[in-house]
């Protein structure tokens, strides 16, 4: 089976610009998660979709971040406008049965805001 | 304990030796405990998911135990090999309504196996 894919793998943008990250989960996985790792810190939860519905977005840092999962397939995470502190690696993960099953992670998108 | 804590932060082990490390997590509202193996420039790869107190899981030379009442899990590696070098992440999940839906990760134990 194809794994979780993320695009782009790297993105360098200037402060104030907009960036959209994309995640394609494993086919059939209703649960999709976004996480972020800032350099030197632990991986932190951003939000959770079940199919197209946002179940929990308590980890989203602020309203500059917008996640969507139209049709319950792929998901996008938009940062607008980007700030320096948004730099980090953004991981997407999908699972079959929420947290009772393992999360399958994508390779991440490394975002650098200059 | 409010967060997930892993110890030690890093570990150097001779090839062939066995080793273990610890994950501590809040015992209230427990739902699941995950272990992941994370190699540089790759994505975290699931090792184990444990949900019941007393759970023990094994995959080849790697095994894990879970104590939900006292809030800890151990990961054991028997007969370490160079390919075991990686960062091992522990992550804790809460019951629905007990907090955030996602996993709370520790900072990881960075394991280096020396030939």
Out of B42, B103, B105, the one facing A99 most closely (by C-beta) is: B103
Mean pLDDT, rounded, of chain B: 94
Asked if A1 has any chain B CB less than 8 Å from its own CB, the reply is no
pLDDT attached to residue B2: 64
State how far residue A38 is from chain B, nearest Cα, in angstroms. 11
Q: What count of other Cβ atoms lies within 10 Å of the Cβ of residue B40? A: 8
If you average pLDDT over residues B53-65, what whole number do you get? 97
If you average pLDDT over residues B29-58, what whole number do you get? 95
B93 band by pLDDT with thresholds 50, 70 and 90:
very high
In chain B, what percentage of residues exceed pLDDT 90? 86
If you average pLDDT over residues A83-88, what whole number do you get? 97
Check whether B1 has a pLDDT greater than 60. Answer: no
Q: Residue A21: name the closest of A100, A99, A74 by CA.
A: A74
Cβ within 8 Å, pair A100-B45: no
Q: Identify the three-state secondary structure at position A75.
A: strand
Query: In the structure encoding, which two tokens stand for residue A111, read together?
Result: 């975002």
If you average pLDDT over residues B79-87, what whole number do you get? 97
If you average pLDDT over residues B80-94, what whole number do you get? 96
Q: Identify the three-state secondary structure at position A70.
A: helix
Check whether A50 has a pLDDT greater than 90. Answer: yes
pLDDT in tens, A21-43: 999 999 999 999 999 999 989 99
pLDDT in tens, A68-83: 998 889 999 999 999 9
Asked if B102 has any chain A CB less than 8 Å from its own CB, the reply is yes
Q: Quick one: three-class SS letters along B14-44? A: ECCCCEEEEEECCCCCEEEEEEEEECCCCCC
Contact B43, A91 (CB under 8 A): yes
State how far residue A91 is from chain B, nearest Cα, in angstroms. 8
CA distance B101 to A100: 12
Query: In the structure encoding, which two tokens stand for residue B75, read together?
Result: 């990961």
DSSP notation for A30-53: -EEEEEEE-TTS-EEEEEEEETTE
Out of B32, B36, B42, the one facing A107 most closely (by C-beta) is: B42
């Amino acid at each position: 089976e194809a794994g979780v894919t993320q695009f782009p793998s790297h993105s360098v943008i200037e402060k104030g610009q907009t960036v959209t990250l994309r995640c394609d989960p494993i086919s059939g996985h209703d649960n999709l998660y976004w996480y972020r790792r800032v350099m030197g810190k632990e991986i932190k939860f951003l939000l959770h979709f079940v199919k197209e519905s946002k179940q929990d977005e308590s980890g989203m840092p602020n309203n500059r971040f917008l996640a969507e999962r139209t049709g319950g397939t792929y998901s996008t995470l938009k940062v607008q406008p980007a700030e320096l502190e948004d730099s980090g690696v953004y991981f997407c993960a999908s699972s079959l049965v929420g947290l009772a099953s393992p999360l399958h992670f994508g390779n991440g998108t490394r975002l650098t805001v200059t | 304990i409010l967060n997930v804590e892993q110890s030690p932060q890093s570990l150097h082990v001779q090839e062939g030796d066995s080793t273990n490390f610890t994950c501590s997590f809040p015992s209230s509202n427990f739902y699941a405990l995950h272990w992941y193996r994370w190699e540089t420039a790759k994505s975290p790869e699931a090792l184990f998911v444990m949900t019941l107190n007393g759970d023990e899981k094994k995959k080849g030379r790697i095994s894990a135990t879970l104590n939900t009442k006292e809030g800890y899990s151990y990961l054991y590696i028997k007969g370490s090999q160079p390919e075991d070098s990686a960062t091992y992440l522990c992550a804790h999940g809460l019951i629905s309504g007990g907090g955030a839906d996602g996993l709370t990760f520790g900072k990881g134990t960075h394991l280096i196996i020396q030939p």
